[in-house]
A and B are shown apart, each in its own frame.
Chain A
Amino acid sequence: MTKPTHDITNKPELARFVDSYINFLDIHSKDVKFGSDLLDSGIKTEFIQKMELFMVNPLQALLDQRQMVDANLYTIVDGFVNLFFEKAKKLNIVKSAFKKRNGSATMYMIVLNQDNFNNRNEIFYFLDHYSSLGVYDKLPIYFQFVPTELEEKFITEESVA
Chain B
Amino acid sequence: MQEFINQAKHNHVLHDSICENYKESYYDWKITCLFYVAIHYLKALAKKRKKDIGTSHMEINGNIRGGSHNASMPIQDTARQNYMNLYHYSQSARYEGFKDLKTFNAIKKKDYEHSLECFNQFKKFIVTSQVPINT
Contact = CB atoms under 8 A, between A and B. Distances in A.
A102 B106 contact: no
Given A107-B92, A131-B61, A136-B58, A144 B107 contact: yes
Interface string B77-109: 000010011001001100111001001001100
A131 B58 CA distance: 8
Given A128-B84, A147-B106, A120 B114 contact: yes
B110 A147 contact: yes
Given A124-B85, A150-B106, A102 B58 contact: no
Contacts of A144: 92, 95, 107, 111
A54 interface: no
Interface in B28-81: 58, 61-62, 65, 81
Contacts of B100: 153
B107 A121 contact: no
Given A107-B97, A127-B88, A145 B58 contact: no
B117 interface: yes
B58 A137 contact: yes
Interface size class of A (residues with CB under 8 A): 20 to 34
A58 B107 CA distance: 46
B74 to A, nearest CB: 13
Interface residues of B, number: 21
A143 B114 CA distance: 14
Contact of A153 (B58, B103, B110, B111): B103
A105 B94 CA distance: 12
SS class, residues of chain A in contact with chain B:
mixed
A102 B81 contact: no
A89 interface: no
Contacts of B91: 140, 142
B81 A128 contact: yes
Contact of B88 (A100, A102, A105, A143): A143
Interface in A130-148: 131-132, 134, 136-137, 140, 142-147
Contact of A124 (B58, B88, B110): B88
**Which of B85, B97, B103, B106 has the most chain A CB atoms closer than 10 A to its own CB?**
B97
Contacts of A142: 88, 91-92, 95
A86 interface: no
Contact of B117 (A105, A117, A125, A153): A117
Given A128-B81, A131-B61, A150-B103, A145 B95 contact: no
Interface of B: 58, 61-62, 65, 81, 84-85, 88, 91-92, 95-97, 100, 103, 106-107, 110-111, 114, 117
